[in-house]
Every structure is written in C-alpha cells, then in structure tokens.
Chains A and B, each alone.
Chain A
Amino acid sequence: MAVPAEYYLVLSAGLFCIGLAGILTRKNALMFLMSVELMLNAANINFVAFSLHWGNLTGQTFVLFTMALAAAEVAVGIGIILVLYRNFGDVDVTDATGMRW
C-alpha cells in the first residue's frame, strides 16, 4: 500500500518553508546557500512523490537532473561567497549593499 501523495506534499511544504524561514532570518551567506538547497530538495520530493503517484518514471529521472543542477549551483554559490569574503572580509549578505561597476 503506497503512502498517499498528500503526505509527501506536506513534507515537501515543510521542507520548503524551513528553507524560506532560513532565508528570511539569516544573514550568513552560507546559511542562505543551505536554505536554498532545502527549498530545491522540497521540489525534488514532489517530483519523486508524483512519479510514484502516476506510476511514471519521468519524475525519478528528472530528480537526478535537478540534483546535478543543485551541485552546479552550489559550486557557483561558493565562488560568489569567496568573492564576497574577499571584498568585504565577511560573509554577511547585508554588507554587500551596492553594485560595483
């Protein structure tokens, strides 16, 4: 007996909102990155849940693609954080208030 999709959706919503809360309350850029990962993985849970719900493998396969994309995103994000630290001596996102030409 498969678990109904509603419970996966609630789990996914919880994960998404934890990530959202992290982004709204934290100033550390690394915490931002982790929170964005939580939100991304909430979407992954939905892919897998609806893959099971419809008996179609496309969601499962697409999650692999999304996870590779997340890895690439983290690589770029850490590069940005390194530059942030180099330029401001800190990883506080509220320090970088102006665009540099």
Chain B
Amino acid sequence: MTTRPELRGDTGALLPAVAAVGLFVVMAVVFLGAPVGDAAGFPQNVEVANESLGSGDLTENANVQSVNGSTVVNVETAGGNESTTLADQTGVNATVVFAGGQTYGVVSEPVSVTATIGYAMFGLTDQLPADLQSESFLAVFEIIALVLVAALVGAVTLARREDPGAVVSLFSSTEDPNVTGAVAADGGREVDGGRAIDGGREVDGGSEEPDEFDGGDA
C-alpha cells in the first residue's frame, strides 16, 4: 500500500527529465540576470466626469463629501457655500484639481483590463484609455471560428468508427457492400473482402470485436 508519493519503479526512464531540470536552471539564471527593467503596468485610473466648479484655484476651499448616497464637492466662496454633485454614489475616487484657470471636480475609476480587452478585440480602440495601447484584433474572431470548426471536423472524422463496407466521407456515411479497397482514415489496410476497417487489427470475418486488446494500459 502506498502511503506517500513515490516515483514509479522505473527510475531509469526518468533520467531524461534531468535534461529538463538542467534547461530550467539555465533559463532561470538567464532570466534573473537579464536587464528587463521596471514594468510599465496598466494605467490605474481613467477620468469619467468633469465638473467645472468655478474659475480660479479653488482647491484650498473645496472638499469632497458623501451626502445622502451621493458624492458632492462643497466649495466655499465669498457668496457662501456651493455644492456640486459629482456622482450618484459614494465610495468613488473623487478629487478636485486646478487646470487651465478653472477648478474641476474629477471622478475617476480604475481601468478594467477585462473591459479594455473587449474593446481591443472588437476594434473599439477609441474607447481605450489614452495611455493604454493595443492593436485591433477583430480578425482574431474569424480565425478562431475557422480553426475551431476545422478542429471539430478533423476530430470527428478521425474518431469515427467505420463499419465494414461503410464509406465515410466528410459529412456523410453510406453503406456500399461492393466497395473494395476503400481508403479509410486508418490508411486503407486490406482485410477480408478487400475492405479497409480499423487498420492494424486482425478481424475475424468482418467482426469488429478486437482480439488483441489488453485493456488499454499505458
């Protein structure tokens, strides 16, 4: 009874794996010594709302508050307090900035990598944040569809079990008792009656029962 993980008995067969370990050591040394530099990373925030709070630098007099489920900015001016709603929810990343002679209330939200992948794949590159570059990948969908269909058809065609005398083509299978020497997916081995079935196995009188199976142990 096995009570702990063990190598299989044939340790000599594991010898080639030493080459893989050696390759890993070489790669690790090279990668850790490579001058890769710092990661640029994805942009953290993107602006989604701009509200002009007034001309001049009011950042000293403005403060962001949460009031009744909304995010508002209060600006103290000479004429009294002025309140501007920036967002209809709380917990957003809201700041007050001064730019171009005006003071703005800015709400920003984190860049969603998943959403931007969607924009890139559908060619909506104008939706991407300005400092996030990508190529337009619309053609990928067509290629994926083509490859998947080809793979499905290939797998089904390869895996199809053929009866003696059955002609299996790409989309149809017809019974033809007179067919001789038909080319099957297994290479067209000749068997009794000149029909090619399940190449590589001897068949008794057209029976499909395998006679040499050992249970399929690897």
Contacts and interface: CB of A to CB of B under 8 A. Distances in A.
Contacts of A10: 27-28, 31-32
A57 B119 CA distance: 10
A2 B38 CA distance: 8
Nearest to A49: B39
Contact of B151 (A4, A65, A75): A75
By Cβ-Cβ distance, the 6 closest A-B pairs, closest first, are A72-B151, A57-B134, A28-B218, A79-B158, A100-B187, A55-B40
Interface residues of B, number: 64
B117 A60 contact: yes
A57 B128 contact: yes
Interface string A24-57: 1101111100000000000000000000111111
Given A6-B34, A17-B20, A17-B27, A85 B216 contact: yes
Contact of A61 (B28, B120, B156): B120
Chain A residues touching B, range: 35 or more
Interface of B: 13-14, 16-17, 19-21, 23-24, 27-28, 31-32, 34, 36, 38-43, 113, 116-117, 120-121, 128, 131-135, 137, 140, 143-144, 147-148, 150-152, 154-159, 161, 185-189, 198-201, 210, 212-214, 216-218
Nearest to A68: B144
B125 to A, nearest CB: 10
B216 A14 contact: no
A16 B23 CA distance: 10
A87 B198 contact: yes
B31 A13 contact: yes
A90 B214 contact: yes
Interface of A: 2-6, 9-10, 13-14, 16-18, 20-21, 24-25, 27-31, 52-58, 60-62, 64-65, 68-69, 71-73, 75-76, 78-80, 82-83, 85-92, 100-101
Contacts of A100: 186-187, 189, 199-200
Contacts of A9: 27, 31, 34, 36
A85 to B, nearest CB: 6
Given A17-B21, A79-B156, A83-B158, 19 more contacts: A2-B41, A3-B39, A9-B27, A10-B28, A13-B28, A17-B23, A24-B17, A24-B20, A52-B42, A53-B39, A60-B113, A61-B117, A61-B121, A61-B137, A65-B137, A72-B148, A72-B151, A87-B201, A89-B213
